[in-house]
A and B are shown apart, each in its own frame.
Chain A
Amino acid sequence: MSDRIFGGIGLLLAAFFIWGATQIELSFISDPVGPRKFPMIIGAVLGLASLVVLIRPDAEPHWPPLGRLAEIAGAVAVMVAYALLLPDLGFVIATAAASAVLTWRLGTRPLWAVVTGVLTSLGIYTVFHLILGLSLAKGPLGF
């Protein structure tokens, strides 16, 4: 079933892609192929491959139970929050918080998770900023 849904989504994506290709504006300078045809060929291959998957699906993959899916969604949320807050909080605080949450969800006990998060953050800061001189996000506190 998963593969059938996957194939269906693939087909929609291919259709959308080909439609998108027809929307590309043509410029007055052009070569014989132009900017539209290659994307259309790709869209056709995408659609054909999706169709084959739709018609001849593989065995059902092993999906994790709902709880685990929620875990993954949670991790995605943490990462998105990390990306958005990084410039405001600064590298050290944001990274300590994000890695503490991640290691906690991966099975570290809460108190140790905080310690691990802080150590991870400081370790990366030391290696990449202090030793290698990479510029990391600066927060209001300057680190």
Chain B
Amino acid sequence: MDALASLADGFAVALTWQNLFLALVGCFLGTVMGALPGLGPSNGVAILIPLAFTLGLGPTEAMILLTSVYYGAMYGGRISSILLNIPGDEPALMTTLDGYPMAQQGRGGEALALSGVASFVGAFLATWGLVFLAPQLVKVALLFGPAEYFALFVLAFATLGGIASRNQAKAAFAAALGLGIAMVGVDGQTGVPRFSFGEVHLYDGIDFLVAIVGLFALSEVFIFLEHRGEASVEGKDTGAGIGRIVPSGRLIARCTPTMLRTSLLGFIAGVLPGAGASLGSFLAYSMEKKLVDREGTFGTGDPRGVAAPEAGNNAAAGGALVPMLALGVPGSGTTAVLLAMLLALNITPGPLLFTQNPDVVWGLIAALFIGNLMLLAMNIPMVGLFVRVLLVPPRILMPIVAMVSFVGIYGISGSTFDLLVMVVFGVLGWLLRKLDVPLVPVILGVLLGNLMEANLRRAMTISDGDWTTLFASPLSIGLWTVSIVGFVLPIIFGKVLRARMGRRKDEEGAVSD
């Protein structure tokens, strides 16, 4: 098997002291960020990107650090879900349903341990899925010409709102806004300045890292400021007992079929565009409820109700890396942010990444396996440590988040102008979240706008200005069809699905997964 041989090479890359250390740091930070309500995988990774960049880490090292944070956050989200009934991040929402009742019954430790194992199983299987599926997808992607790529970008935007999207008009608005921001600066093909209005700082365009950190991290600070003093944001005491932290063999054996089924489902949800980890955990929970909940114990502290969403969301997190690495088109918020890191390092993801930088890809995948083991080790015996982190009140944490964001951006450019632009994006992010406009399409637009335009213009140059070239191949017709279906379906089914997922805890919601 090619994939296995490449993976072995990957382990050779990942098993250096420096990379192991970075994976360890990433896993630790990720778990902390996931556990803290308000900081999720996407803003956690967003804050770290400028830092990884200014520290001069190479592409492999930087990606190992950041994907460890990503995986770690998926583990960490469950801690506050179980102990405080507050999801640490959006994908962990479903874990509150059975996790918190378990904690109230004094079985919090058991729930934490079991969900740790479930997270491990989900992430482990999904990483294997990544090993085998990504190279296959690369083969398909090599058939893509500029017209197909353009259609693929359209597909990504059309489906990004997700099946559970509330308002497709707002999702489209967000995408167009992001693309519009990407247009600022000198046009790469003809060299004329666009939308810069004579401001020299704008000739280079708006740095997407500045936009991402502002939209994701600073807006969170404003949300906290707005809700100051309300019960849901103040650090709550973990009133419920933790109990034993070691999972019993019997319990794990009982949940194994659940974990295997939901891992598969979660992985598929992660790979598909527009689904992501939140939907993965939701689908996993509802499927298990239908399949095994004969006594009606789901929702009252059933261990399987804890295992299902955790295996599902971790598997979805792994699955979401497949389109990001193989096609260069991310399907979720955090993978969009990871893509930003690659672009900042001048590495273009997509099929060429696998041939030109196999060390980055396979080193990264190997690091995911290693990180996953570290996370299992960290999250079961040491979970008490993370529980203590939850007691840091947001009033101290949030200023730190803001200041670290400033440090990262200032470190890249040393420019006051960029800091001001970041504050503007922070306010914009807050406003958009209040108005229920999703932020992920904005980010993706800023990131991919120039690539999307370049592919359109390349396709048109090849066809000498004939617009029908965009729909000329069966592959691109297929992509356009999926885009249209993916955009229209949520308008029809979104309401039903949302009603089932239940009211979200806070209306602005966590940013995304």
A interface, CB within 8 angstroms of B: 2-3, 6, 10, 14, 17, 20-21, 24-27, 29-35, 38-39, 42-43, 45-46, 48-50, 52-53, 56, 58, 61-64, 68, 71-72, 75-76, 79-80, 82-84, 86-87, 91, 95, 98-99, 102-103, 105-108, 116-117, 120-121, 123-124, 128, 132-137
Q: Which residues of B contact A76 (CB under 8 A)?
A: 222, 423, 426-427
Q: Is B15 at the interface (CB under 8 A from chain A)? A: no
Which residue of chain A has the shortest Cβ distance to B186 in the bound complex? Answer: A35
Residue among B221, B406, B420, B456 making CB contact with A75, cutoff 8 Å: B221
Output the least CB separation between A58 and chain B (Å): 6
Q: Which residues of A contact B423 (CB under 8 A)?
A: 76, 79-80, 83
Which residue of chain A has the shortest Cβ distance to B459 in the bound complex? Answer: A33
Q: Which residues of A contact B183 (CB under 8 A)?
A: 38-39, 42
Known: A35-B189, A79-B426, A134-B55. A42 touches B399 (CB 8 A): no
Interface size in chain B (residues, C-beta < 8 A):
64
Q: Which residues of B contact A10 (CB under 8 A)?
A: 173
In the complex the two chains form, what is the Cα distance from A3 to B189 in whole Å?
37
Residue among A49, A58, A80, A105 making CB contact with B436, cutoff 8 Å: A58
Pairwise interchain contact A124-B176, C-beta atoms closer than 8 A? no
In the complex the two chains form, what is the Cα distance from A94 to B477 in whole Å?
56
Q: Which residues of B contact A56 (CB under 8 A)?
A: 169
Q: Which residues of B contact A83 (CB under 8 A)?
A: 406, 416, 419-420, 422-423
Pairwise interchain contact B180-A86, C-beta atoms closer than 8 A? no
Pairwise interchain contact B172-A72, C-beta atoms closer than 8 A? no
Stretch at the interface among B60-68, B110-118, B225-233, B311-319: B225-233
Residue among B189, B416, B430 making CB contact with A31, cutoff 8 Å: B189
Output the least CB separation between A69 and chain B (Å): 8
Q: Which 9 A-B pairs have the closest CB atoms?
A: A32-B465, A83-B419, A106-B395, A52-B169, A49-B173, A46-B176, A99-B399, A102-B399, A49-B172
Pairwise interchain contact A38-B192, C-beta atoms closer than 8 A? no
Q: Is B475 at the interface (CB under 8 A from chain A)? A: no
Output the least CB separation between A116 and chain B (Å): 6
Output the least CB separation between B84 and chain A (Å): 19
Q: Which residues of A contact B221 (CB under 8 A)?
A: 75, 102
